[in-house]
Amino acid sequence: GDSVTQMEGPVTLSEEAFLTINCTYTATGYPSLFWYVQYPGEGLQLLLKATKADDKGSNKGFEATYRKETTSFHLEKGSVQVSDSAVYFCALTPNSGYSTLTFGKGTMLLVSP
Amino acid sequence: DTAVSQTPKYLVTQMGNDKSIKCEQNLGHDTMYWYKQDSKKFLKIMFSYNNKELIINETVPNRFSPKSPDKAHLNLHINSLELGDSAVYFCASSQMGTGAPEQYFGPGTRLTVT
């Protein structure tokens, strides 16, 4: 079945540092890929998505590029802020049929001033 | 104006009890979901309904019974609660169509079974 693998956390960074959270996937066909963010005590919010190979999703300074050849969708941000502290989930859904999300295990990001 | 709402936000109950969690969406979506998030933050799909019809039923004990009275509501009833049911339960909704529709999540219901 489909699966998503994320790097283990927590990731601890100082403000303005560069962020990379790795995500790789296994899926049949060509899924759509997502990054969701969960702030403390809240539900999940879509951060960005990409629906086909070489697409780049971007939002709030975060970016991720759909790499079919390496089955990856790594999340990056050039300069993190304390307010970016949250749990980040990589997820996929097939592009046909019913679109339930398969999530990675989540990566906690802690940004200190 | 909340898009996906859940009640209650917190639920503390004893083993063996029966409880329900309610979910409502005002986005006009035709598909709704229940996800379970365990203590390690791992999220897993439990159920999905499309136009009030059950379309996804993962390996979930039959003590869990979803009910969709209409497209805007998907409730989750849990019988004979067990300690292992303690988790955060998220409701979500989306609109079926071409491509990969975005799912909108509710704020979650933290269930604690003692």
Per-residue pLDDT of A18-57, as tens digits, reads 999 999 999 988 899 999 999 988 889 999 999 989 999 9
Q: Locate the chain A residue with the closest alpha carbon to B57.
A: A100
> Rounded mean pLDDT of A4-30?
94
Give the pLDDT score at B63.
95
Give the pLDDT score at A8.
84
Give the pLDDT score at B59.
77
DSSP result, A39-65? -TTS-EEEEEEE-STT-EEEETTEEEE
- Please give the structure tokens belonging to residue A13: 């960074």
> Which of B50, B90, B92 lies at the smallest CB-CB distance from A98?
B50
- Please give the structure tokens belonging to residue A16: 């303005």
Tell whether omega for the bond before A10 is within 30 degrees of 0, i.e. cis.
Answer: yes
> Rounded mean pLDDT of A72-101?
90
B59-77: b or e for each residue (b if 16 or more CB lie within 10 Å)? eeeeebebebeebbbbbbe
With a pLDDT cut of 90, the percent of chain A lying above it is 80
Give the pLDDT score at A98.
67
Give the pLDDT score at B64.
94
Which element (helix H / strand E) includes A24? strand A23-26
Rounded to a whole number, what is the distance in angstroms from the first to the last CA of chain A? Answer: 41
How high is the mean pLDDT of chain A?
93
Regions of chain B with pLDDT less than 70: 1, 98-100
Q: Mutate one of B31, B42, B43, B110 to test the A interface: name it (highest A CB count within 10 A).
A: B43
